[in-house]
Amino acid sequence: MAADTGATTLTDERLERYSRHLILRGVGVTGQRRLLASSVLIIGAGGLGSPAALYLAAAGVGRIGLADGDVVDLSNLQRQIIHTTARIGEPKAESAAAAIRALNPDVTVETFDRPVDADDIADLIARYDLVIDATDNFSAKFLINDACVLAGKPFIHAGVVGFAGQVMTVVPGAGPCYRCIFRDMPAAGEVPTCREAGVLGEVVGVIGSLEATEALKLIIGVGEPLVARMLTVDALTMNIRRVPLPKRVPDCPVCGDAPTITALDPDRYIQPACAL
């Protein structure tokens, strides 16, 4: 993450805005400058993308990309807290960008008002340091995984349905990828989405916030990211587990010893990326 001297200068306003970071052991001036010089792409400006985007913007991530081809709907507002009733009908990426600019005008926001697919995801993720998966279908999650692994780009995975959620961090070459763990896409209708099974909005907020936390840790270079580990949260019992994952899966079709997925074939990913 190459630092732009002007972009990372700690002006008087920044010293005040980020003061709680600057006195925090593990962040400080060096960490804040890394944040200001960093860039994050969030795919999906919905339930997971809402808290992730707001917290990354509040933290001072210098450039945030928002990719979402949907528009704000009344049914979104139960969990997609970055949007408002007044912005119903607006493109989600633009609505989220407005909220970020209102929160922190220090952040550069780039919007992509279209579904992310196999034809354009490689060019899109190349512009950013890391990616946050805030989508709601398996096709999109496998697409993000495969594109990021092929590009050597770290990303944060999350999924939520009902009262439960999960988070893991994928750093290609340092641990397993999403396909290492889940291998192949489930058949259509085999696993319900939140649209079919429902979802508690507050759980989405917790999981999206954890995605932002993992992203900040990677950028700053502090702590232990969830590499080769998956954090699971059951809100009904408040049972939170950190599940160890295999560090390497030699027969993984995308990051194993003899990968069979070496390019993004559009026929492999049926559904475009959409937000939770």
Is there a contact between 201 and 207 (Cβ–Cβ < 8 Å)? no
The burial of 224, by beta-carbon neighbours within 10 Å (0-12 exposed, 13-18 middle, 19 or more buried), is given as: exposed
* CA-closest candidate to residue 150, choices 269, 272, 264, 265: 264
Q: Distance between CA atoms of 24 and 220, rounded to whole angstroms?
A: 12
Euclidean distance between the first and the last CA atom of the chain, given in angstroms as a whole number = 29
Helix and strand counts by DSSP (H, E) for the chain:
10, 8
Q: Distance between CA atoms of 202 and 261, rounded to whole angstroms?
A: 36
What would you measure as the largest C-alpha separation in the chain, in angstroms? 55
Annotated active-site residue 274? The verdict is no
The burial of 240, by beta-carbon neighbours within 10 Å (0-12 exposed, 13-18 middle, 19 or more buried), is given as: exposed
Catalytic residue among 194, 252, 255, 274: 194
- Active-site annotation, residues: 194
